[in-house]
A and B are shown apart, each in its own frame.
Chain A
Amino acid sequence: MDAVVSNFDLYWQGFRMTLVLTLISAVAALVLGTLLAACRVSPVVSLRWFGATYVELVRNVPLTILFFFFIFVAPQIGIRTPSFFVSACVALSVYTAAFVCEAVRSGINSVGVGQAEAARSIGLTFTQTLQLIVLPQAFRTVVPPLINIFIALTKNTSVAGGFAVTELFAIGRRLANANPADVIPVLVGIGVCYLILTIPSGILANWVERKVAFAR
């Protein structure tokens, strides 16, 4: 138990790093994913293909492989990032964007046909229809799945710990190896830190789901 109490500052450091990784990657993935979703519903065939290919490829590759790519392989083909932290953010965003894209797309598809028809019948253009009518409604539907995607992202940041970013998982491994007698309390402490982030988010997702549910 001493190992947990006396290393509280390390826990706090790891917790902050996990949080920062999650927030940066969440914002980046949200932007990239929404752009990809726009590609996937656009009338332009080539963009639709691009979006679909991206999603199919990234969703079917383990996150660990993406990390491996951005940290070990990318430098070999001349793509260098300033630090492991940046590489980790890129890998997490690229991976999560595919899931965000699918959530947003299914949200767009869930908006009633009549909505878009009405928008078109009063003369709105494609962009206006999407921007003023469909997306605001779609976002209400996609918020709960998006929160779930970000919960998964929070847990996925632990992979960064395996690639030289000192977040919670890496701190946990370091402390567990340094204190063989206290392995269980150390790791349970790390687990609790993750649960502090994930369980309230899960409750929030359920609450939002009930709140924004509306009859169509």
Chain B
Amino acid sequence: MTSVLYDIPGPKARRRERIGSVIGGLFVLGLLALGAWQLQQNGIFEAERWSVFFDPPKNQEASDVWNFILVEGLGATLRAAAIAAPLAVLLGLILAVGRITPQRWVSWPSILVIELFRGLPVVLMMLFGVLALQLSFLQAVVFGLVVYNMAIFAEIFRAGIVSLPKGQSEAAYAVGLTRTQTLLSILLPQAVRRMLPSLISQLVVLLKDSSLGFIIGYAELLRSVQNLRDFFGIRYVVPLFVVGAAIYIIINLTLSRLAVYIERRGSKKAAGGVARAEEAVGGQVRGIDDASTGRSGGSV
């Protein structure tokens, strides 16, 4: 993509690039070495500090530590996300449908709800759940995640429906489908498929945001890292933190990769159906790529 900025390099430019890469690489390595030296100076690499994971002090078992991080901490994080995600998707779908309805008494409240909750910090809504609605910590975290993310999901669904070519709904009306039928059997299935990558990246955001429960007192992953730090002492904060952060990175990277994978696969498959339909109604084909994959087939 970015190769447009420069020519395909010749022998001289390639040499320059190699030299540049080496210098840049040395610079980055230098930074890393500086960081490692800094860690070394502060004794982070001492085996004793990391012993918290295999031979913890204070007569604790390693399995207890891992149990506390993975089962209680990560378990609580995943539980909140797993309850909130389907609720947010469902409510988001309802809001999106509400927003595009022509009846104003339906669409205006939907717009109000979407705009309101999009503009508020999630942690504030969690606090509202705890203090004003008297919810338990888990319920409050789920409440905060759901009201914020349903607004975002609604916008994603709407964007998906709006991005569909007009011929889709026109064709549906032409064959006599009602508005509801058009929405349910023609527009939404295509919109959801198109927006699957965005939906998954929003799920990553939802999972990340569950860590805001830390601030209002929900015992999730970060809180269990903090509790272990308080129990074993500040000496062990770095190893504990590294493990906590690594867990988040592994889960989220996996989800993000899944989104990219689906996007690649989906752009091949879904485009086929849409491009063909567009050709059929004589509309504009979205691009040469779509037209060519349209012929190679795919599920319609």
CA distance A14 to B38 in the complex (A): 36
Smallest CB-CB separation from B26: which chain A residue? Answer: A46
CA distance A113 to B120 in the complex (A): 40
Query: Given that A56-B253, A72-B237 are known contacts, is A202 also in contact with B244, CB under 8 Å in the complex?
Result: no
CB of A159 closer than 8 Å to a CB of B: yes
CB of A8 closer than 8 Å to a CB of B: no
Q: For window 120-154 of chain A, which residues contact chain B by CB distance below 8 Å?
A: 120, 126, 129-130, 134, 151
Q: Are B127 and A61 in contact (CB under 8 A)?
A: no
Q: Are A187 and B132 in contact (CB under 8 A)?
A: yes
Q: Are A43 and B238 in contact (CB under 8 A)?
A: no
Contacts of A63 in B (CB 8 A): 208, 211
CA distance A73 to B38 in the complex (A): 13
B-side interface mostly: helix
CB of B68 closer than 8 Å to a CB of A: no
CB of A98 closer than 8 Å to a CB of B: no
Smallest CB-CB separation from B240: which chain A residue? Answer: A73
Q: Are A45 and B119 in contact (CB under 8 A)?
A: no
Q: For window 42-98 of chain B, which residues contact chain A by CB distance below 8 Å?
A: 42, 44
Query: A-B contact count, CB below 8 Å?
Result: 169
Partner-contacting stretch, out of B4-12, B262-270, B292-300: B4-12
Q: Which of A59, A69, A176, A195 lies in contact with B119, CB distance below 8 A?
A: A195
Contacts of B127 in A (CB 8 A): 169, 172-173, 176, 187
Query: Given that A187-B127, A195-B119 are known contacts, is A130 also in contact with B38, CB under 8 Å in the complex?
Result: no
CB of B279 closer than 8 Å to a CB of A: no
Q: Are B42 and A76 in contact (CB under 8 A)?
A: yes
Q: Which of A68, A155, A187, A202 lies in contact with B241, CB distance below 8 A?
A: A68
Q: Which of A44, A57, A77, A78 lies in contact with B24, CB distance below 8 A?
A: A44
Binary interface encoding of chain B residues 222-241 relative to chain A, with 1 for a CB under 8 A from any of its CBs, else 0 = 10011001000010011001
Q: Are B42 and A77 in contact (CB under 8 A)?
A: yes
Q: Are B128 and A65 in contact (CB under 8 A)?
A: no
Instruction: Offer 10 A-B interface pairs, CB within 8 angstroms, sorted by A.
Output: A45-B17, A46-B22, A60-B204, A60-B256, A61-B249, A62-B248, A76-B42, A76-B237, A172-B127, A187-B128
**Chain A residues packing against B (C-beta within 8 Å):** 40-41, 43-47, 49-50, 56-57, 59-65, 68-69, 72-73, 76-79, 108-109, 113, 116-117, 120, 126, 129-130, 134, 151, 155-159, 161-162, 169, 172-173, 176-177, 183-184, 187, 190-191, 194-195, 198-199, 202
**Chain B residues packing against A (C-beta within 8 Å):** 1-2, 4-7, 9, 17, 20-25, 27-28, 38-39, 41-42, 44, 115-116, 118-124, 127-128, 131-132, 204, 208-212, 214-216, 222, 225-226, 229, 234, 237-238, 241, 244-245, 248-249, 252-253, 256
